[in-house]
Structure 1
Amino acid sequence: MIVVFRWLLRIFTGLVVLALVATLIGYYFLSRSLPDYNESFRIEGLSGPVEIVRNDANVPHIFGKTDEDVYFALGFAHAQDRLWQMVTMRRTAQGRLSEVFGERTLKIDELMRRYDLYGLAQSSVEAQDPETRAALEAYARGVNAWIAEVNADARGRGAPEFFLFSNEIAVWRPADSIALIKLMALQLSSHLQSEVLRARASLLLPDARVADLLPDVPGAGVIALPSYASLVPGPFPALRKAEHVEDPLSPFHTKSLSGASNAWAAAPSRSAAGGSLLANDPHLGFTAPSIWYLARLQLSLGGVIGATLPGVPAVLLGRSNRLGWALTSAYLDDQDIHIEEVNPENHEEYRTPDGWKRFETRRSIIKVKDARPITITLRWTDNGPVLPGTHYDLAAITPPGHVASLSWTALSPADTSMSAAVRLMKAASIDEAIEAGRLFVAPAQNLMLADTQGVALQTVGAMPRRDPAHQSKGRMPSPGWIAGNRWQGTFPYEENPRVVTPETGILGNTNNKTVDRPFPLHVSFDWGDTQRIQRWLALMKSREVHTRESFIEAQLDTVSPTARNLLPLVAADLWFTGEAAPEGTPERLRQRALALLAEWNGEMNEHLPEPLIYMAWMRALQDRLIRDELGPLADEFDHLQPDFVERVYRNTGGASVWCDIIQSAATESCTDIARMALDDALVRLTEDWGPNVESWRWGDAHQATHDHPTLGQVPVLRYFVNIRQSTSGGDQTLMRGVTRGTGPNPDENVAGAGYRGVYDFADPDSSVFITSTGQSGHPLSRFYDNLGELWRRGEYIPMSLDPGLARAAAVGITHLEPAAAAD
């Protein structure tokens, strides 16, 4: 027995030693891709020496003699820190993920091929102005210079993830950068999904009930819609649960999260220090690393500093000494679905206003790792690419003998949005910035501006010109063979909304409705926010003048105007009713929950139980209201629709009819439904968090999910690469934390402000910035998550244009020298 024990001990010890050796070897090879920020390089493609000074937060400050050299160095720095992220996003746009990841990404590749984003990006290169083409080419040279260094010096393949995949890293090209802008446009566009959802609802509900569920934002100029069945006669397939195409390997997902971003500005007259103020926090899905990368570029016209997108040679959000610029999603309706009739005698043709016409058709081969290649047929009509019914659940609204096509401004082969971004960095005033915005095509954005003299808001992006007789006004799919439903070009840039130096001195946008103009100059019927703007207005009106600190306070505000509005309505007949119920009964649990909510001010604080109760209650309430009428379609409404619930409980237009359960003999009141929904919510919360209501914490459920797109689902590894944080905020707070809405953890925080910036032109170098993770995409780097805890606590870092301050606490200075200097 002792001999057996000794041998088992030896075997165990040997296995432990082998595991340690394997770990050390693995760490050695993985750490080889960690860049040395104090290194010097001699590189082809530079005209002079360049310095990349990385401050104590690993933010690169780039100094060169020419702008092209600075763009070169930005590409070099991006590749050093985010090469895997850049390559993965490029593969997403190209529709080539399956070459690496196999069949799991086949659907997203198919969708990208049908959009042809990369082909359109290649066509758009020549449309850029000479300065932008030079920037794109210099940036690509910088990326490729780092790739060459990785290959020449065995630098761990450039990133740990590349050890898991054998594919070579293709050289970076100017079209790659433009493709990433188009990929961003896909992320920020949601009207396609809105049209499908409205059409599906129209097939189930009378017009008045559709107006309840998908209400118009208050304001004149909205025209009543016909039913979808009257536009496109069926028959239609039976409604079923929609199949969403998600790309789990890219920061950009096809199911849009476009409904959140904030920007506000104050003119000198409303600033305590006498200089303009500007704040911005765009919201996208969380990933590790963040989509955003902080950088400072010293260009010929001066320094610019702020947030860049790895793969793109521009500061997209930030400031110079003269100008600050911010972006929010404009919700401009830049997408229309058309139902195209296929010729029953020849399936290669579709109906047009002038008769039958052949589809533009070509084959595309998708290579799939460990499987046979897939060949798909790509078809385009005059209106745009044909999308299959398996995507966006288009099959549910497409009659037999028809297909769906998409008109979208981002499908331009001469997209000059990149030129607009480069010009914006060099603008010296609001007027110059507005003129630079003329070149924006997609994604449509509200460009918020501040200079030393004033503030402005300009909507940038191509605005489609629709016929006033358009059958659905662009709100639902329409027959593509009717001339009045087709786009008639775009409106002149001067028609885009613009506000310069308002009398009030304050500007702001939370994706709320910006204009009240009749169709077709309406901009949009669907807007991203009717709630956060209420809280913003209250904060702005609370003081005569503002400061950097008051703008930061607004960015970090976690009070939900929706909770303050809905709870008194929904619980009007439930507060303080009846005697105290016995302990341990459902009635007593309900009373305890209502007592907490009655004293709550609507603050979605991570340490409180009230936000958890409120969110679970509203989710259960909405499901009870719509499930019997909508069936499987109810799954599409996975987030609270505040305007709908308010209409029901105010009985606007008879909307309280939603409270009656169709299948039951009794007639339920809205109070009955509210009580039953609260009981449902408390049962689930008790199962998840225990019986002690006072010990529940919103932050335990509302964990921010900064997950690594590739390694985040791998057992064991996910604990090293995913970043999880308890967070405050919610779906309708200014400090937005978008909940997942579905699944076993519906309250997880999956999207929010990956970047925050506040710029004060009374003292520009006091401006502050933060991103949600860190600068590096390398999980072994100390800069992988170093900014994350600051972000969670609502803290910021300063970023100065003073070179001395950047050098004072530098973690490294990288020197790039032209190769010719070696001679």
Structure 2
Amino acid sequence: MKTKTSLLFVLALVGIGLVWRFTTPSVPPTTQMSQSLYDARILRDEWGVPHIFGKTDADVAYGLAYAHAEDDFETLQGVLLAARGKLASVYGKDAAPNDYMVQLLRIGEVVEAGYPQLSAEVRALCEAYAAGMNHYAALHRDLAHAELYPVTGKDLVAGFVHKVPLFFGIDKTLIKLLEPDTQRTTLPPPATSVKRFFDLTSQPIGSNTFSLSPRRTADRSTWLAVNSHQPWEGPVAWYEVHLHSDEGWNMVGGLLPGAPVVLHGHNRRLGWAHTVNTPDLVDVYQLEINPQNPKQYRFDHTWRDLEVREAALEVKLLGPIKWTFKREVLWSVHGPVIVGPHGTFALRFAGFGEVRHIEQWYRMNKARNFEEWKAAMRLNALPMFNTGYADSAGNIFYLYNGRIPLRARGYDWQYLVPGDTSATLWRDYLPFEQLPQVTNPATGFVQNCNSSPFQTTSGSENPQPKDYAAELGIETFMTNRALRALELFGSDSSITAEEFFDYKYDMTYSEHAPIARLVHQALTAAPAQDSLTNAALTILRAWDLRTDPENMQTALAMLAFRTFVDDDMASITTNMLLDSLRQAAHVLVENYGSLEVEWQKVNRLRRGEVDLGLGGGPDILHAVYGKPDGKGHLIGYLGDSYVLLVNWDAAGKVHSQSIHVYGSATANKLSKHYADQAPLFVERKLKPVWMEETEIRAHLEKEYRPGEELPK
């Protein structure tokens, strides 16, 4: 559902109070302080990647905020406005659903209660990052949204409290409950997509991680692939950094806008990568409302009062003109309450009240060995994410991380559950040690590609499905990427560095993959009634399931079947496949005059004036998802976005290489680093990662302290 439709639901239920506001805010002068409190040096290497040096971790966080603002200030501001519930005050009515959700989920209240409980180190980190944002805003007032300033450390924490539930689809569930065609007994399937902060349309997902121990490598080294698939632009696009303090923080990797720590990457001793998993983390309860009092619901044989509050949604209309829409917000013992067209529902989701996301990632950044890193993971602040790990000692590890509710049996938790009994009100989570995990398997490798934890490696050392109740909602499906990872790593007992690179950039669909089944289904159909479709079937029969840039059959197959890859196979009819194949054939003939066209001519990377062909495809290990441009092209927008391949040699010394789909200037069109990595990306090549200051200086573009880069 588009956000405009969602907004109509919000406004229709407002009971509406409108307050006129006409102001022109300005950046407060207090945002100009910071230089005397923090001392950070920003070293930009020849690719523009920022290496932030400071005496303290707080110094580094301050420099990180400033450097990231240089490259993507608008997105940073949007992320923090969204977490405050003030997005519509800047971007207008289409952002109002986000702001309503922030108040419905009590994000501000959660942060106020939890922030004092964070460690002093993490609070200092967040305040320093906020100071870096404020400093940049003070020096670039023409770009700053004054409604945001001054940024505080609590805004950073709120950003995580706001964003993490979007990864497991809380917004999708809210919207579904407000749709007029929602049935009383059905719910959407568990969400598997990341949402933009003001675009609630679905995104395909994907990420890969592989770890190899010395048991599996030809030179007895250890490998880790950090390979998340995120949108190439926006609030969940990766940004590459190197963070180095005299307090022992020395971390390379990727982070999202508003993060004061690396979210996945490596330090000298260890590293990790995340992929999205889909445990069941959201439940919806059907409430029985008192017919004599609509503000009461039945719970354990008594009527309880709903908590009633008022949400004020400030919405920009035109220029400085803003209106404040007021709406009732309800709460039950389960959590937030939605009054929809088919009833009144309460939501309960994993991790409500949790604010320690930054705390956990910070401890992971600073960990010096496997035990310290696992101790950080045991905080269990992150409610989801598969995690692959490797270190200089040769350890490898896979964890199906999650804050998974322990639910009562006897209910179908995939649908509505009764909200009138405490029997359905879960309070506890599956303990860390009972989560599916694999430690140092004899096979010497672990992998996860948004797939079942029950097929993490070859052989008998996988977690067993029988040990996990259905109520936990742990997925059993296998993506093509996971199938190929098992086929490639499982069949090679002595993997070289070159092979590790080749396997990561594999561009083949497994014969057991969903798209292979679709092709087989289409090819076993009776001959079509038109010659174009029959000609297309002939081309499809010759396709080798590969997505190399030069492949002549891939374009037809991808244009025809790419949108079915994530669908329920049982619901896809042969007629649907043939209709889609016919449409794809028309697109190719109209735009290229042939059914056989090099895949790279169709599959494109575009960034400013850069327009390059590339290989890969949906659910391929070299993942590329494209959107049609109406001219016969698919324009990449998601998939491989930040790739980091890490090796610890037999002596334990770390070496790594990386690539960003575009470049370090993720939104700065005036920078030469706006798209300078794109040519390497399409050729599936990586650049070196430098951690030693001497190495960085050998490839130094510029060095400065925040604010000193500006002309005097």
Kindly tell me: are residues 513 and 303 of structure 1, through their superposed partners in 2, closer, same or farther at Cα, counting changes over 3 Å? same
> In structure 2, what is the equivalent of residue 154 of structure 1?
none
Q: Are residues 1:264 and 2:210 paired?
A: yes
**CA shift digits 1:266-315 (9 cap, x unpaired):** 01121223221000211222316972221111232252111122322111
String of CA shifts for 1:726-756, please: whole Å, max 9, x gaps.
4432222112223559999895443212211
1:535 maps to a residue whose letter is R
Cα distance, 1:589 vs structure 2? 2.7
**Displacement after TM superposition at 1:97 (Å):** 1.7
Q: Is contact 1:605–1:728 with CA below 8 Å preserved after alignment?
A: yes
Map of 1:533 onto structure 2: 482
Change (3 A) 1:380 1:741: farther
State the SS of the aligned residue for 2:224.
Answer: strand
2:585 paired residue number? 682
Residue 175 (structure 1) aligns with: 154
After TM superposition, list the pairs within 5 Å mapping 1:790-801 onto structure 2: 790-801=680-691
Amino acid at match of 1:755: Y
Local SS of the residue matching 1:731:
coil
Which of 399, 402, 414 is matched with 1:461 structurally?
A: 402
Find the aligned partners of 1:747 and 1:359 in 2 and give their Cα distance. 50
SS of aligned partner of 2:390: strand
Alignment of 1:409-448 (within 5 A): 409-412=350-353, 414-448=354-388
| Higher Rg of the two aligned structures | 1
Q: Deviations over 1:206-265 (max 9, x none)?
A: xxxxxxxxxxxxxxxxxxxxxx87x68xxx9xx9xxxxx9987x4x75445363111010
CA contact (8 A) 2:130 2:153 kept: yes
Residue 445 of structure 2 corresponds to 506
User: Aligned pair 1:594/2:497, yes or no?
Assistant: no
Q: What is the alpha-carbon distance in structure 2 between the residues aligned to residue 185 and residue 194 of structure 1?
A: 14
| Partner of residue 660 from structure 2, selected from 771, 777, 793 | 771
Match of 2:557 among 587, 591, 614: 614
1:187 touches 1:258 (CA, 8 Å); kept in 2?
no
Shift of 1:80: 2.8
1:319, distance to aligned residue in structure 2 (A): 0.7
Quote the Cα distance in structure 1 between the aligned partners of 2:76 and 2:697. 28
Residue pair 1:295, 1:305 contacting (<8 A) in 2 also = yes
Indicate yes or no: 2:639 matched with 1:692: no
Choose which of 509, 514, 529 in structure 2 pairs with 1:560: 509
Contact residue 108 and residue 247 of structure 1 kept, 8 A:
no
Deviation per residue, 1:782-811 (Å, 9 max, x gap): 122222332233222211211111011211
Q: What is the CA–CA distance in structure 2 between the aligned matches of 1:135 and 1:521, rounded to whole Å?
A: 40
Q: How far is 1:59 from its partner?
A: 1.4
Q: Which residue of 2 aligns with 1:113?
A: 103
- State the alpha-carbon separation in 1 of the partners of residues 85 and 636 from structure 2: 28
The answer as to 2:256 corresponding to 1:309 is yes
1:571–1:674 CA contact under 8 A, matched in 2: no
Distance 1:374 1:74, change over 3 A: same
CA shift at 1:61, angstroms?
A: 1.6
Residue aligned with 2:92, SS? helix
How far apart are 1:76 and its partner, in Å?
A: 2.5
Q: Distance in 2 between matches of 1:524 and 1:746?
A: 38
Q: How does 1:9-408 map to 2 (within 5 A)?
A: 43-46=35-38, 49-151=39-141, 157=142, 159=143, 162=144, 167-190=146-169, 193=172, 250=197, 253-257=199-203, 259-287=205-233, 291-299=237-245, 300-301=247-248, 303-370=250-317, 371-387=322-338, 389=340, 395=341, 399=342, 402-408=343-349
- Other structure's SS at 2:679 match: helix
- 1:458-514, CA deviations, whole angstroms, 9 ceiling, x for partnerless residues? 233322111122x11x21222222333322322222222221111111000011111
**Higher helix fraction (1 or 2):** 1
Q: Give, in whole Å, the separation in 2 of the partners of 1:177 and 1:183.
A: 10
Q: CA deviation at 1:62?
A: 2.1
Query: Residue type matched to 2:369 in 1?
Result: S
Give distance in 1, aligned partners of 2:194 and 2:204.
Answer: 15
What is the alpha-carbon distance in structure 2 between the residues aligned to residue 353 and residue 80 of structure 1? 55
Q: Does 1:785 align with 2:688?
A: no
Residue equivalent to 1:486: 425
Distance 2:685 2:57 in 1: 32
Deviation at 1:452, TM superposition (A): 1.8
Deviations 1:322-364 (A, max 9, x none): 1011111122221112222222211112222342212222112
Whether 1:731 aligns to 2:682 is: no
Instruction: Name whichever of 422-431 and 781-790 sits farther off.
Output: 781-790
| Counterpart Cα distance in 1 of 2:108 and 2:497 | 41
Partner of 1:570: 522
Name the amino acid aligned to 1:476.
Y
Q: Distance in 1 between matches of 2:60 and 2:582?
A: 61
Counterpart Cα distance in 2 of 1:732 and 1:364? 41
**Any idea what SS the aligned residue of 2:225 has?**
strand
- Measure the CA separation in 2 of the matches of 1:432 and 1:71: 22
- Are residues 417 and 287 of structure 1, via their aligned partners in 2, closer, same or farther at CA, if it must alter by over 3 Å? same
- Whether the aligned pair in 2 keeps the contact of 1:430 and 1:455 (CA below 8 Å) is no
What is the deviation of 1:639?
3.8
Count of aligned pairs between the two proteins: 649
Q: 1:741 to 1:388 in 2, by over 3 A?
A: farther
Distance 1:54 1:675, change over 3 A: closer
User: Would you say the 8 A contact 1:258–1:284 is kept in 2?
Assistant: no
- Give the structure 1 partner of residue 643 of structure 2: 756
- Counterpart code for 2:672: R
Report deviation, 1:522: 6.2
| Distance (Å, rounded) in 2 between the aligned partners of 1:522 and 1:347 | 32
Alpha carbons of structure 1 residues 594 and 292: separation in structure 2 relative to 1, 3 Å: same
Percent identity between the two aligned chains:
23
Cα 1:639–1:407 shift into 2, 3 Å: farther
AA at the equivalent of 1:682: A
| Structure 2: runs of 5 or more not aligned | 1-32, 455-464
| Residues 326 and 372 (structure 1), Cα distance of their counterparts in 2 relative to 1, 3 Å cut | same
Instruction: Note if contact 2:384-2:403 (Cα within 8 Å) is conserved in structure 1.
Output: yes
Partners of 1:84 and 1:191 lie apart in 2 by: 25
Q: Is the 8 A contact 1:289 1:774 kept in 2?
A: no
The 1:549–1:179 alpha-carbon spacing in structure 2 relative to 1, beyond 3 Å, is farther
TM-score for both structures, normalised by structure 1: 0.72
Counterpart of 2:460 in structure 1 is: none
Deviation at 1:446, TM superposition (A): 1.6
How far, CA to CA, are the matches of 1:403 and 1:747 in structure 2? 42
Instruction: Structure 1: give runs of 5+ residues left out of the alignment.
Output: 1-40, 152-156, 205-227, 240-244, 390-394, 578-584, 620-637, 649-657, 660-669, 707-718, 819-823
Distance verdict in 2 for CA 1:111–1:197, change over 3 Å: closer
Give SS of 2:156's match: helix
Indicate if the aligned counterparts of 1:293 and 1:775 stay in contact, CA closer than 8 A. yes
Equivalents in 2 of 1:71, 1:679: separation in Å?
Answer: 54
Cα 1:725–1:107 change in 2 (3 A) is: farther
Aligned-partner Cα distance in 2 for 1:548–1:435: 31
Distance in 2 (CA, whole Å) between partners of 1:60 and 1:109 is 33
Superposition CA RMSD, Å: 3.5
Alpha-carbon separation, structure 2, partners of 1:107 and 1:195: 10
For residues 529 and 117 of structure 1, the distance between their equivalents in structure 2, rounded to whole angstroms, comes to 35
Q: 1:88 touches 1:97 (CA, 8 Å); kept in 2? A: yes
Q: For CA contacts below 8 A with separation 6 or more, give which structure has more relative contact order.
A: 1
TM (norm. structure 2) is: 0.82
Q: Is the contact between residue 249 and residue 365 of structure 2 (CA under 8 Å) also seen in structure 1?
A: no
Partner of 1:29: none
Change (3 A) 1:482 1:726: farther
Structure 1 match to 2:29: none
Describe the shift of the 1:385–1:56 C-alpha distance in structure 2 as closer, same or farther (beyond 3 A): same
Distance 1:364 1:573, change over 3 A: closer
Go from structure 1 to structure 2 and tell me whether the alpha carbon gap of 1:387 and 1:609 turns closer, same or farther (over 3 Å shift). Answer: farther
